[in-house]
Amino acid sequence: MERILFIDDEQMVLDGFKRLLWEYRNNWEMEFALSGSDALRMIELHPVDVIITDIRMPGMSGLELLEQLKQNENHRNIPVVVLTADQDRTLKRKALEMGAIDLLNKPVDKEDLVARIKNVLQLKHYQDIVIENNKALEKQLVISQKMDLVGVMASGAIHDLSNLLAIIVGYSSFLIEENMLDKIESTSMEKIRRAGDKASSLVNQILKFSRLDQKLTTINVNEIIDDIVSILSPTLSNGIHIKWGKPNEAIYIKSNAVKLQQVLLNLCINGIQAMSDSQGFLALSAKRVGQETVCIEVMDTGAGMDNETMKKLFTLSFISNEEGKKTGLGLFAVKHILDEYKGKIEVESEQGKGTTFRVFFPLFQQ
């Protein structure tokens, strides 16, 4: 059953809610708290799906409660409906700016209350699905980056292997064909050659397979960035906004869509992570530069970087074994992908101001 928490400093108001929603007691589990701090304790013990809170309360006000919820990683996604008897529009606007999902006027009308609760629960349901999907996606990103890394190392090794096998097969064939061996030696050499041949074809199969996912397609850059924005938007905390300066014309490049998405997601997630105080914006833009080049820009107003960090940005030096989200593989994978698909990257950063990454691709003329 979905849980709703009502908060008001007057017992009478809480009793009123209980009466109004009596017929829904089997649909929703309803909890009541007389103060913001009681409410926080209750949520800590048992999560809720919606909070309906008064604004003016002694001790912690509704807005202060809202602020505390938004700062808490576990609670920031609980939808909060703010109740107010006030005609004070500034207060109402403030509540919405701080992340309240809806406002309700006192005295509360039953139909109105029920309709809003249903709406908010529905929204919460969709939001939960999106958040789950995003978590799965991020996990997938980390895994595919690890695979990329293994791929980079393996493909180098496989190339060498293929060359070495060519030498083994070549020399053994030469010795057999030139009749330089006696019968026993020649039988053994034939075995070496066959084994070498078999190994060669195996290695070639692996090489072929590793080329499979390098498929190039014509990509509309605007569409890819639309996708990125809709993937990221639901995961942002309230103070962080995405600006997408979508150009009027479609811009095409020839690349691998999955890999390009991986590049942009990495840059955006880094930018968001750099806004540790959960304030600021991430600005995305795309444009043609000259006749032949496309530039995609990812700019953030985060912490920026010092020179030391900038120097080793695209290397493997950030790899950490810490259990958790960060692997330190992100920009290394980005660079590797760009090298593979004729892309270039540059970065500008200032500590305390923010960072801009620019990615360049050859323009594809339709």
Ligand X SMILES: Nc1ncnc2c1ncn2[C@@H]1O[C@H](COP(=O)(O)OP(=O)(O)OP(=O)(O)O)[C@@H](O)[C@H]1O
Which residues share a beta bridge with 293?
289, 362
Q: Which of 231, 331, 338, 359 binds ligand X (CB under 6 A)?
A: 331
Which residues share a beta bridge with 357?
298, 347
Q: Which position's Cβ is nearest ligand X? A: 330
Give the range of 82-90, 248-256, 291-299, 322-330 binding Mg ion by CB under 5 A: 322-330
Residue 280 in the binding site for ligand X (CB under 6 A): no
* Number of residues lying near ligand X (CB under 6 A): 21
- Residue placing its CB nearer to ligand X in the complex, 255 or 349: 349
The CB-of-264 to ligand X minimum distance in angstroms stands at 12
- Residue placing its CB nearer to ligand X in the complex, 224 or 269: 269
327 binding partner (options ligand X, Mg ion, none; Cβ < 5 to 8 Å by kind)? ligand X
Residue 270 in the binding site for Mg ion (CB under 5 A): yes
Hunting for tokens 């913001």 — which residue is that?
A: 36
Residue 271 in the binding site for Mg ion (CB under 5 A): no
Residue 196 in the binding site for Mg ion (CB under 5 A): no
Q: Which position's Cβ is nearest Mg ion? A: 330
- Residue placing its CB nearer to Mg ion in the complex, 136 or 216: 136
Q: Which of 355, 359, 360, 363 binds ligand X (CB under 6 A)?
A: 355
The CB-of-321 to ligand X minimum distance in angstroms stands at 12
118 binding partner (options Mg ion, ligand X, none; Cβ < 5 to 8 Å by kind)? none
- Alpha carbon 12 to its chain centroid, in Å, reads 45
Which residues share a beta bridge with 336?
none
Residue 328 in the binding site for ligand X (CB under 6 A): yes
- Residue placing its CB nearer to Mg ion in the complex, 153 or 319: 319
Side-chain-side CA neighbours of residue 73 (13 Å): 2
Q: Which of 62, 79, 302, 330 binds Mg ion (CB under 5 A)?
A: 330
Q: State the pairing for strand pair 102-105/2-7.
A: unpaired
The CB-of-309 to ligand X minimum distance in angstroms stands at 5
17 binding partner (options Mg ion, ligand X, none; Cβ < 5 to 8 Å by kind)? none
The CB-of-348 to ligand X minimum distance in angstroms stands at 11
- Residue placing its CB nearer to ligand X in the complex, 144 or 220: 144
Whether 363 and 218 have beta carbons less than 8 Å apart is answered as no
HEC string of the chain?
CEEEEEECCCHHHHHHHHHHCHHHCCCEEEEEECCHHHHHHHHHHCCCCEEEEECCCCCCCHHHHHHHHHHCCCCCCCCEEEEECCCCHHHHHHHHHCCCCEEEECCCCHHHHHHHHHHHHHHHHHHHHHHHHHHHHHHHHHHHHHHHHHHHHHHHHHHHHHHHHHHHHHHHHHHHHCCCCCHHHHHHHHHHHHHHHHHHHHHHHHHHHHHHCCCCEEEEHHHHHHHHHHHHHHHCCCCEEEEEECCCCCCEEEECHHHHHHHHHHHHHHHHHCCCCCCEEEEEEEEEECCCEEEEEEEECCCCCCHHHHHCCCCCCCCCCCCCCCCCCHHHHHHHHHHHCCCEEEEEEECCCEEEEEEEEEECCC
Residue 172 in the binding site for ligand X (CB under 6 A): no
Looking at residue 112, its amino acid is D
Residue 318 in the binding site for ligand X (CB under 6 A): yes
Residue 326 in the binding site for ligand X (CB under 6 A): yes
Contact string (CB under 6 A) for ligand X, positions 287-306, x = contact: -------------x-xxxx-
The CB-of-301 to ligand X minimum distance in angstroms stands at 10
- Residue placing its CB nearer to ligand X in the complex, 62 or 271: 271
Q: Would you tell me which residues interact with ligand X (CB under 6 A)?
A: 266, 270-271, 274, 300, 302-305, 309, 313, 318, 325-332, 355
Q: Would you tell me which residues interact with Mg ion (CB under 5 A)?
A: 270, 330
